[in-house]
């Protein structure tokens, strides 16, 4: 009888010790999920995306800067834009040589839009799609990166490098640049989202989603319309807050935002702890079941041996 009592006590002690250890490890792992997401996954992802963006746009920015500084363009505008054909050929050659989606020049004097396909309509402050030119005219930096539809040709969503053209006296005389397919941006968004298992949004300063990955669970068109984030949208967009978390459907969602001055966009990455919690819980249950099986086998062995 005493032996059975000792065996039972030993079994209870082993179970208690095992459960205590397994549960302790489980709780530590749960606490580590927040640190993994906020200190590792989201910052690394943000750095990846930002670095990829800069790398992808180095070439079109360089091409646009060459165009803006080209003596041919400056002299041609200054001479009165008498014949459009030389400029159309020039832009066509830029597009062909560098394999860009488009190349363009807009003259401030005539407001004419020159394109490889020919002379397009003039730009006007009354048209919303032409607002970019008048914005560039008043820029205090050499260029801007803008994501917009290519209204002049393909109507495809395009990343434009809008570079200020100055004459030899330093006065603004036009805007030149190239457009590249937004697919390039999609590629590095997809790469990062797949690697870190999260959602990626590119927002404009007003909170509107301008670009996102195909795998992203697009739950809002504007940050101000998304209930869990609408109260902090202003602070995420103006940079006064760069991290936030909220609860939804039993999971915690972590958000990291970064303003990218070169592009006038805000990158926002979001990741839920749901999948990671499920993985940790699954591992915990497997460990518990396996431990219990070993304890039962050990107890049965001792009991059989004692008999």
With 0-12 / 13-18 / 19 or more C-beta atoms within 10 angstroms meaning exposed / middle / buried, residue 192 is buried
Could you say which of 138, 154, 183 is where a domain stops?
183
Task: Tell me the DSSP string of 88-130.
Answer: HHHHHHHHHHHT-SEEEEEETTT-EEEETTEEEEEP-TTSGGG
- What pLDDT band is residue 194 in, cutting at 50, 70 and 90? confident
Residue 35's pLDDT is what? 83
Same domain? 148 vs 239: no
Q: What's the domain range around 106? A: 57-183
Same domain? 45 vs 96: no
In-domain check, residue 78: yes
Residue 46's pLDDT is what? 85
Same domain? 159 vs 77: yes
Q: Are strands 251-260 and 102-107 parallel, antiparallel or unpaired?
A: unpaired
In-domain check, residue 283: no
Residue 217's pLDDT is what? 66
Same domain? 85 vs 147: yes
DSSP type of residue 204? -
Q: What is the CATH number of the domain that holds 211?
A: 3.30.450
In-domain check, residue 210: yes
In-domain check, residue 4: no
Could you say which of 154, 183, 212 is where a domain stops?
183
Q: What is the CATH number of the domain that holds 115?
A: 3.30.450.20
Residue 220's pLDDT is what? 83
More confident residue, 58 or 182: 58
pLDDT digits (tens, 9 = 90+) for 41-100: 888 888 888 887 777 788 899 999 999 999 999 999 999 998 899 999 999 999 999 999
- Look at the alpha carbons of 178, 182, 183, 187 in this order and tell me if their dihedral is positive or negative: positive
pLDDT digits (tens, 9 = 90+) for 209-259: 887 776 666 778 899 999 999 999 999 998 888 899 888 888 888 899 998
Q: Residues 291-300: contacts with CB within 8 Å, 24+ apart?
A: 291/18, 291/22, 292/15, 292/18, 295/11, 295/14, 295/15, 295/18, 298/14, 299/7, 299/10, 299/11
CB 121 within 8 A of CB 113: yes
Same domain? 76 vs 33: no
In-domain check, residue 259: yes
Could you say which of 183, 202, 223 is where a domain stops?
183
In-domain check, residue 15: no
Per the prediction, the chain carries an average pLDDT of 82
Same domain? 124 vs 220: no
Same domain? 121 vs 46: no
In-domain check, residue 161: yes
pTM of the model as a whole: 0.69
Same domain? 203 vs 269: yes
Residue 272's pLDDT is what? 81
Same domain? 154 vs 36: no
pLDDT beyond 60 at 104: yes
Side-by-side strand order, sheet with 172-181: 118-122, 112-115, 102-107, 172-181, 157-166, 143-149
In-domain check, residue 303: no
pLDDT beyond 60 at 153: no
Same domain? 88 vs 162: yes
Q: 199: which strand partners?
A: 270
Number of domains in the chain: 2
Same domain? 81 vs 35: no
Same domain? 267 vs 167: no
């Amino acid at each position: 009888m005493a032996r059975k009592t000792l065996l039972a006590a030993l079994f209870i002690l082993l179970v208690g010790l095992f459960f205590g250890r397994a549960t302790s490890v489980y709780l530590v792992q749960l606490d580590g999920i927040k640190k993994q997401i906020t200190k590792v996954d989201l910052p690394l992802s943000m750095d990846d995306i930002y670095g990829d963006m800069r790398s992808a746009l180095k070439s079109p920015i360089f091409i646009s800067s060459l165009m803006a500084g080209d003596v041919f363009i400056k002299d041609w505008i200054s001479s009165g834009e008498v014949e459009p054909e030389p400029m159309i050929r020039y832009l066509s050659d830029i597009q062909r040589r560098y394999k860009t989606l488009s190349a363009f020049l807009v003259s401030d004097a005539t407001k004419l839009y020159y394109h490889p396909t020919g002379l397009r309509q003039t730009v006007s402050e009354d048209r919303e799609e032409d607002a970019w030119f008048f914005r560039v005219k008043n820029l205090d930096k050499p260029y801007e990166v803008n994501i917009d539809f290519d209204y002049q040709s393909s109507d495809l969503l395009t990343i434009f490098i809008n570079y200020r053209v100055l004459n030899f006296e330093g006065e603004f005389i036009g805007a030149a640049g190239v457009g590249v397919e937004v697919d390039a941006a999609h590629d590095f968004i997809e790469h990062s989202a797949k690697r870190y298992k999260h959602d990626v949004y590119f927002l404009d300063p007003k909170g509107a989603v301008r670009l996102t990955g195909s795998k992203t669970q697009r739950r809002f068109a504007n940050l101000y319309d998304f209930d869990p984030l609408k109260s902090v949208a202003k602070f995420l967009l103006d940079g006064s807050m760069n991290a936030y978390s909220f609860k939804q459907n039993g999971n915690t969602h972590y958000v990291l935002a970064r303003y990218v001055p070169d592009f006038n966009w805000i990158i926002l990455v979001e990741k839920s702890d749901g999948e990671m919690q499920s993985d940790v819980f699954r591992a915990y249950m497997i460990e518990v079941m396996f431990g219990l099986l070993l304890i039962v086998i050990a107890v049965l062995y001792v009991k059989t041996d004692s008999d």
